[in-house]
Amino acid sequence: MTEFTPLASLLGGALIGVSAVLLMATSGRVAGISGILANLLTATRDGAFLDRAAFVVGLGAAPILYMLANHHPVPQTVPANIPLMVVSGLLVGVGTALGGGCTSGHGVCGLALFSTRSLAAVLTFMAVAIVTVFVTRHLIGA
């Protein structure tokens, strides 16, 4: 079962919200991680390569900084089943491409901007997440 961590969850959510607001305030861009990553290599055309590269480096540096500060590794919360993780990653990638964004873009930024497209996307991925958890925990027994 997943551990209930209200303080860590609140702090993490607040940090995500602050980073999304700061990105919007400083660059006028939505903090959609899939879009930032997908457009990283083509960002030289719009002059945003350094911004996007810093964002992606920050995503990778965060667990390293956490480990250095706490002197223990970040807890692994997903199964170590490599084929399952590869298929899951591909499905998430296809979903973000079809949905025109990811949870950070639609869920954090899009909903805050009252986007009906983002509301539809969030309702869709939340419904799929609920079904996925039900199937894996109750029907497959993962």
Query: Would the pLDDT of 141 be above 70?
Result: no
Average pLDDT, stretch 78-99?
Answer: 84
Query: Per residue in 40-83, pLDDT tens?
Result: 877 666 667 888 888 889 888 988 998 999 898 887 777 778 88
pLDDT value of position 119: 95
pLDDT value of position 116: 95
DSSP string, the chain: -PPP-HHHHHHHHHHHHHHHHHHHHHHS----HHHHHHTTTTTTTTT-HHHHHHHHHHHHHHHHHHHHHHSSPPPP-S---HHHHHHHHHHHHHHHHHHTS-IIIIIIIIHHTT-HHHHHHHHHHHHHHHHHHHIIIIIS--
**According to the per-residue pLDDT averaged within each range, which of 24-38, 39-53, 81-95, 110-124 is highest?**
110-124
More confident residue, 28 or 121: 121
Lowest model confidence (mean pLDDT) among 7-21, 39-53, 77-91, 103-117: 39-53
Query: Would the pLDDT of 37 be above 70?
Result: yes
Residues with Cβ within 8 Å of 95's Cβ and at least 6 positions away in sequence, in order, are: 125, 128
